[in-house]
Structure 1
Amino acid sequence: MSFSMTGYGQSALQHGGYKVEIEIKSVNHRFCEVVLRMPREWTCFEDVLRRTVQSYVKRGRIDIYMNKEAELDNVAFATLNHSAVKAYLQAVDILHDQYGLEGKLTVKDILALPDVLLSPDHIPTVDEEDMELWGEVLQEGLRSALESLKIMRFKEGLHLAQDVEQRLHRLQVLHGEMLALAPHVVEEHRIRLRQRLTELQDPSFSLDEYKLSMEIALYADRSNIDEELIRMQSHFEQCKELLHSDEAIGRKLDFLIQEMNREVNTIGSKANHLPLVNRVVEMKAELEKIREQAANIE
């Protein structure tokens, strides 16, 4: 089961007179990097929330945005946080005087700022029990958003896996053609070499069958690609197994692609044979496309 590293998830729920919204975006990354952005009073939950994310996601950069908004019924009886309002207005004065920035805060702007309005339930100091409830709410909302993210990553990963499997099938077809061509490489070289030597024969030059046989034997040893073809077949099977496994496969798949590229390059350098070289070029093109797709797989 392959998962893409790109995806999106969200959730929303109510608690304590607030609407809590959670949004998750994930993109490609070599490791699992979790970035949490949330109100300051929730930072005490960061470690447990981060561990929750890591239980769902093994690889990728995960940006999580958590926000809360007071519900309308709650806002109607909200209390103005005078210290917060004064702090915002002082910040505006500093921006005007020291930085020369223009603009004014309207009443609507101020009321939309964090912590300007306090609900009656949140004016007193929040006790441990309330904080535990908030932690449970955030965990519930995060898991719901992660499930949404997981579904999207799975659907995208399914398309990526299908594309990789199709390209692997094409590689196997080319591999089969190479297997069929390999036994003829030495024989064709022997025929070409004998023809050239025959054309060169004159009274001062005679064809030495022993030396010709030695040359053919050396060429056969240098151009033998049996080992590379066997290893390629093994890599194909490993790639197929990875695509249907439940673990994070991106790095392993990337490693196998590197190994296959190495085998293909060796075949190209060994086989001085145009039909084989043409298939080497096709294989390298397919491997590059698989590598691009593997970069998106978890």
Structure 2
Amino acid sequence: MSFSMTGYGQSALHFGGYKVEIEVKSVNHRYCEVVIRLPREWTRFEDPLRRTVQRFVKRGRIDVFINKEAEENTAPPVLLNHKAVNTYMEAAREVSERHGLNGELTVRDLLSLPGVFLTPEEVGTNQDPEPEEWGRVLEEGLVKAMEGLVAMRTSEGSFLARDVEQRLNRLEKLHGEMVQLAPSVVEEYRNKLRQRLAELNDGSFAFDEHKFGMEIAIFADRCNIDEELIRLHSHFEQCKGLLRADEPVGRKLDFLIQEMNREVNTIGSKANHLTLVNRVVEMKAELEKIREQLANIE
């Protein structure tokens, strides 16, 4: 199965009073490049998250965006200052004993006094989840986003593979026509050369069958494309096998397309035949379209 290098995935999680959104997008790239953008306080998780991405993809540029926002209608956390409460109660007892006053501090009185409640910043503590918990949450969210991205890359990859395979079928058809045309090239050249010599012979020179045969033999050797046609057929089979492989095959396919181009160019330079040259032009056009599609296959 072939995979595209283009895809998108996202996920959203709610944890510790925050909403965490993760977006992942990928485009084609020669290697596997992972770029992660996340809040500064989560920088420590960058390497583990990068390794998570690399478990899912082997090639392409993958951009990961992680945002953290406080949930709406979430009250800021406060802490009860027990030291201040004890101080207020001791002071109340002292005033009562020293001055003979009656009455006690109630809960309502205490809660209304300054300093009884402190924010986490005032006491140097933090009510956010522990770093290890955030690491687990980010890992879970990234996995969900990557699953979405892989699903899109798989779907797009299947479409690309079908298109490439159809073009390979077209190339095989052109190849078959070349195989049928190849033997007739020498025969047509022999007939045309014999006819031309007959037209030019005004009786001033004798026709030499031996030299004529040597000329035909040299031409036949020069325009022989059997080896190129055999190698092309082999490349077609290898390409179709790679398109069904469960591994990154983009580079291998790109190499095979280069080899096919080389064989087709050789056929074009050897073929002294108009119909064969036309088939070469058609094959080169199809190979260029395949090459463009392969630029997106992992």
State the TM-score, normalizing by the size of structure 1: 0.83
Which has the larger Rg? 2
8 Å CA contact retained: 1:6, 1:296: yes
Structure 2 residue identity aligned to 1:167: R
Residue 77 (structure 1) shift: 2.2
Q: C-alpha distance in 2, partners of 1:120/1:142?
A: 29
Q: C-alpha distance in 1, partners of 2:77/2:229?
A: 74
Percent of aligned pairs sharing the same letter: 72
Structure 2 residue identity aligned to 1:24: V
Superposed CA deviations along residues 69-100 of structure 1, whole A, max 9, x for unmatched, are 111232x3268xxxxxxxxxxxxxxxxxxxxx
Residue 123 (structure 1) shift: 6.4
Q: Give structure 1 regions of 4+ aligned residues with deviation exceeding 6 angstroms.
A: none
Aligned to 2:173: 173
Residue 206 (structure 1) shift: 1.7
Aligned to 1:225: 225
Aligned to 1:286: 286
* Secondary structure of residue in 2 paired with 1:72: coil
Verify: 1:4 aligned to 2:4, yes or no: yes
Aligned to 1:36: 36
Task: State the Cα RMSD in Å.
Answer: 1.8
Aligned to 2:71: 71
Aligned to 2:194: 194
Structure 2 residue identity aligned to 1:177: E
Structure 2 residue identity aligned to 1:153: R
Change (3 A) 1:137 1:193: same
Aligned to 2:109: none
Q: C-alpha distance in 1, partners of 2:31/2:153?
A: 16
Task: Output aligned runs, 1:247-286, within 5 Å.
Answer: 247-286=247-286
Task: Give the paired residue count.
Answer: 257
Structure 1 residue identity aligned to 2:208: D
Q: C-alpha distance in 1, partners of 2:293/2:170?
A: 15
Aligned to 1:24: 24
Aligned to 1:124: 125
Q: C-alpha distance in 2, partners of 1:206/1:199?
A: 13
- Unmatched 5+ stretches in structure 2: 79-118
Structure 2 residue identity aligned to 1:192: K
Residue 203 (structure 1) shift: 2.5
Structure 2 residue identity aligned to 1:6: T
8 Å CA contact retained: 1:77, 1:120: no
Q: C-alpha distance in 2, partners of 1:78/1:194?
A: 102
Q: C-alpha distance in 2, partners of 1:147/1:267?
A: 46
Q: C-alpha distance in 2, partners of 1:263/1:126?
A: 68
8 Å CA contact retained: 2:120, 2:127: no
Task: Output aligned runs, 1:81-100, within 5 Å.
Answer: none
8 Å CA contact retained: 2:33, 2:62: yes
Aligned to 2:242: 242
Structure 1 residue identity aligned to 2:76: F
